[in-house]
Amino acid sequence: MINLEELNQVQREAVEYNEGPQLVIAGAGSGKTRVLTYKIAYLLDVLGVEPNRILALTFTNKAAREMKERIGRLVSVDKTRYLWMGTFHSICARILRQEAQHLGLTRDFSIYDTTDSKSLIKRILKEKGLDEKIYKPALVLNKISTAKNRLCTPQTYGLVKSYIDQDRYDRTYDMPSVYQIYQTRLHEANAVDFDDLLMLMCQLLQNNAEARAYYQSIFKYILVDEYQDTNYAQYLIVKILAEPENLVSVVGDDAQSIYSFRGADIANILSFQKTYPNARVDKLEQNYRSTQCIVNLANSLIQHNQHQLYKSVFSKNAEGDRVSLQPYMSDRDEAQEVITQLMREHAVNKIGYNQIAVLYRTNAQSRAFEGELRKMGIPYRIYGGMSFYQRKEIKDAICYFRLAANPKDNEALQRIINLPARHIGDTTLRKLSECAQEHNVTLLEVAANPDTYNLSVVPMARKSLMEFAQFMAVRREEIETKDAYTFAQDTLRMSGVMTEALMDTTPEGQDRAENLNELLNAIREFVEQRTQMGIDFTPMSDFLGEVALLTDQDEHTDDPTQRVTLMTVHAAKGLEFPVVFIVGLEEDLFPSQYCVRSEDIEEERRLLYVAITRAMTRCYLSFARQRYKNGQLNFCNPSRFLKELDRNCIRQGSFATKKPETPVLPDVPERKRVFVPERPINLKPITATPTQTATSTAWQPNDRVYHKVFGDGTVLQVYNENEVDKIDINFDKVGKKTLMLTYAKLEKR
C-alpha cells in the first residue's frame, strides 16, 4: 500500500488530483520522478485503474525502466508489466507495428538510425548530382527532421515560407525533391526513421478514425515526463490520445528545456494552459537535492532568461560550501587540476568515485579528462560518443539481422553485402542499385535473380550476388523459427563475420571479436529476460524492435564499480551527483559558438542551469584561457554566464596549491578572438577579389563580403553574402586557410 505521508503537501496534492488536465511544474531536484511514480501507483492502487489503461511517456528508456521498478516496489510488480510506459519513440514504434498494414508497411519494418538516414541521403544527393559541399548530408537530414517534427510532409514542405527562405539562404533549392525522394526510398525499403515514428503516429491518429478511437479508448490516463522537451508531433500525439476526457498530466520544468535542436518546443509547456484551459497547475518548488548555495547560484543564473514560467525554487538543506570558480591557463591545465581536486575529494572527503561527475558542453572535451584519469589510474566511465550499438562491427551484425527480418532494407544490404569481402565493389553495387530502381524492386530481389532483371555485371560478381541472396533467403526462413540468440549465433558464424573477426590478430580485430561476443551475450540476456517474464519464444524481430531505440544511457545500467562519470550536460539531465565539476566555461564553447539568436543563448543558459543543479553538495566551475579546438590553439574568454552568477555563492581560489589568481570577474582582458556577429551585421558590405583562391569551395570571386578587423588588426573574419563561409584572415601568418583579398591591406589600420 502506498503511503502518501512520504510526500510534501504540494507533491501530495499533485498526486491526488486526477480529474482533469494537469501541469506539474517541477523545479530541479523537487521530486518530480517521485510525484510521477506515486501518481501512477495511486492510480493503480487507490483508484484501481487497470495498468493497461495508463500511458506514461518518458524521455529515455532508462527512465521508464527505473520508474517501473519504483512503482513495482510501491504496488505489485505484475501490475507494472502491463503499463504502457516508455519513450515516445518506443511506444509509437510499438503501435505502428501493430498498425503497420494501414501505413503501407509490414510489422517488420526497419528503423533507420542517423547513420542509415545519412547514407541514404548521400546516395540520393549523388544520384541527383547535387554538391555535397552545399547539400551537407547532416544539414539535409536536419532540415528533413525539423520538417517532420512539425508534421510537414514532402508535399507541404514547399509551402512553408520559413523552409523555403532558409533553403534559399543555404542554397539548397532542391530540398523539397530530396525530401520527397528520401521519403519514397524509406517507404520502398519498408523502413522509417526516428522522426517518422512520431510523424506516422500523428498521421495514423489524424487520418484513421478507427485507430484513433481505438487508442483513445485504451488510454484513459496519460502522463508525460520532461514535457518541456517535447516537440510539436509529440504534443499532438498527447493531445489527440487524451481526447475527449483530457486526463492528461504533464510534468516538466521550462528552465530545463535543452533540446530545441531536436525540435523540442518550449512553447508546449509555456502554453499548456491555453491548450487545456481548465488545467490545474501544481508547482514543486522545494529542492531536496542540493545545498542552498547551489540552488541560489542556479537561480541567480536562470533569472537572466526572459521567457519562463514563474516559480521560485528554494532549498531547506544545509547552506553548504560555496561553489568554486577557477580559471586555468590551458585546457590541459584544467584537466590536470580538476582531476587533482577530484582525487582530493576522494581522499580527504571520502567521496566515492561514482559520486563524482565531470560535465562538459561537447563530447570532444572528454579526451583531456580521460587521459588524465587514466594516467592517475582512476576508474572512470564516459557516456556518449560512440555507443556500443553504433560500433562498426555491431552495426554490421545487426544489419544482417535487419535484412533477414526485412528483405527490403536496402541500407542494411548495402552495408553488409561485401562484408566480409565478396568481390562486390562499388561498380557492382551501383549497377545493382540502378537495376533495382529501374524495375522497381528491392536490391535483394535483383541480387537473387540477376538474369531476370538483365543485370550486367562480371561473372564473379554475379555469382557472389546470387550466393549472398541465397544465404539471406535461408536466414529469412530461420529468423521465424529460431529464437533470437540461436539465430544471431548462426548468422554471425555462417556469414563469415565472426570468422573474419577471429582471424584478425590485430588488437582491433580482437576487440571486434570480443564486441561481437558481447552482442551475442546481450541477445542471450534479452531472451532470458523474456523467458522470465513468461514469454517462451523470443524471435530476433523482438530484439531488433528494441535495439534501434536504445541509447547509450540504457547500456550497462548496473555498475557495481566505483567510477567517475564523464558526460555532456545533455546526458546528465535527470541525474544527480554529490560532487560535480563543470568545465570549459568559455565563450564559444559554453555558450556554444553556434548560438546566434538570443533564444539560443537562453537555451545555453538553461543548459548551464541543468548542469549546476545536478550537484548535491559541491560544485566546481572552471574555464581555460586557451584551448585546442580542431587541432588549433584558441584563446578564450570566460563564459558570459559567469558574470551572471551570484558572487555570494562563489568562492575563489579554492585550490590552495595554486598561486592566487588575478580576479576573474567582472572584466577580463580582451583577446584577439573574434565573435561571430549577429545578423544583421552592422558592417558595410564590400566587393572583394581574391588574389589567391582559398581552398574553401563555397567562395566565389567578387562575392560580396562582410568583414571586420579587430583590435590590432591581426585577426579578421569575413563572411560571404550568405554567410556560408567563415574565413579567418591572419596577416601575420599566411596559413593554408588564408584568403588574400585585394582590399585587405587597405582595411588594416
Residues labelled catalytic: 32-33, 225-226, 256, 614
* CB contact set of 590 (below 8 Å; sequence gap of 6+): 360, 361, 584, 604, 607, 608, 639, 641
Nearer to DNA, 23 or 549 (CB): 549
* C-beta contacts of 521-528 below 8 A and 24+ residues apart: 523/484, 523/485, 523/488, 524/485, 526/484, 527/483, 527/484, 527/485
The 10 Å Cβ neighbour count of residue 521 is: 11
For the record, the C-alpha cell of 569 comes out as: 550536460
Q: At its nearest, how many Å lie between DNA and the CB of residue 29?
A: 21
Distance CA 397, CA 415 (A): 10
570: its cell numbers: 545533455
What is residue 6's three-state secondary structure?
helix
Q: Fill in the per-residue mask, 78 to 107: x = in contact with DNA (CB under 7 A), - = not in contact.
A: ---------xxxx-----------------
Which residue lies nearer to DNA by CB, 392 or 672? 392
Q: What residues pair up with 727 in beta bridges, in sequence order?
A: 718
122 binds DNA (CB under 7 A): yes
47, 421, 503, 533: which one binds DNA (CB under 7 A): 421
* Least distance from DNA to the Cβ atom of residue 293, Å: 27
Q: What is the DSSP letter of 705?
A: E
Among 418, 437, 449, 654, interactor with DNA by CB under 7 A: 418
Is residue 595 a contact point for DNA (CB under 7 A)? yes
Which string of b and e fits 537-551 if b means at least 16 CB within 10 Å? ebbbbbbbbebbbbb
466 binds DNA (CB under 7 A): no
The one-letter amino acid at 575: L
Distance CA 405, CA 487 (A): 11
Piece of 68-76, 218-226, 259-267, 311-319 that binds DNA (CB under 7 A): 259-267
Q: How far is the CB of 259 from DNA (least distance, A)?
A: 7
Is the distance from CB of 235 to CB of 227 less than 8 angstroms? no
Scored b (16 or more CB within 10 A) or e, 194-228 reads bbbbbbbbbbbbeeeeebbeebbeebbbbbbbbbb
By CB under 7 A, name the one of 214, 628, 710, 731 that touches DNA.
Answer: 628
Instruction: Name which of 203 and 418 has its Cβ closer to DNA.
Output: 418
Subset of 665-694 contacting DNA (CB under 7 A): none
Q: Single out the segment in contact with DNA by CB under 7 A; choices: 151-159, 163-171, 356-364, 500-508.
A: 356-364
* Contact flags string 358-397 toward DNA, x per CB under 7 A: ---xxxx-------------------x-------------
3-state SS, residue 231: strand
At 647, the amino acid letter reads R
User: Binders of DNA among 495-554, rule CB under 7 A?
Assistant: 549, 551-553
Report the residue number, 117 or 341, with the smaller CB distance to DNA.
Answer: 117
Which three cell numbers mark 72? 513495482
Residue 123 as a binder of DNA (CB under 7 A): the answer is no
Number of chain positions touching DNA (CB under 7 A): 54
Find the part of the chain contacting DNA (CB under 7 A) among 33-41, 471-479, 624-632, 738-746. 624-632
Binding mask 543-582 for DNA (x = CB under 7 A): ------x-xxx--------------x-xx-----------
Under the binding rule (CB under 7 A), the answer on residue 736 touching DNA is yes
Grid cell at residue 517: 561476443
Helix (H) or strand (E) holding 522: helix 507-532
Sign for the CA dihedral angle at 325, 330, 331, 337 comes to: negative
Residue 450 found at the interface with DNA (CB under 7 A): no
User: Is the CB of 194 or the CB of 219 nearer to DNA?
Assistant: 194
Return the number of the residue (41 or 55) whose C-beta is nearest DNA. 55
Among 112, 194, 369, 719, binds DNA (CB under 7 A): 194
Return the HEC string of 304-352: CCCCCCCCCCEECCCCCCCEEEEEEEEHHHHHHHHHHHHHHHHHHCCCC
Specify the stretch interacting with DNA by CB under 7 A; choose among 214-222, 415-423, 443-451, 648-656: 415-423
Q: Site residues (CB under 7 A) for DNA?
A: 59-60, 87-90, 114, 122, 132-133, 136, 138, 145, 194-195, 258-259, 261-262, 361-364, 384, 418, 421-428, 457-458, 461, 549, 551-553, 568, 570-571, 592, 594-595, 600, 628, 630-631, 695-697, 736
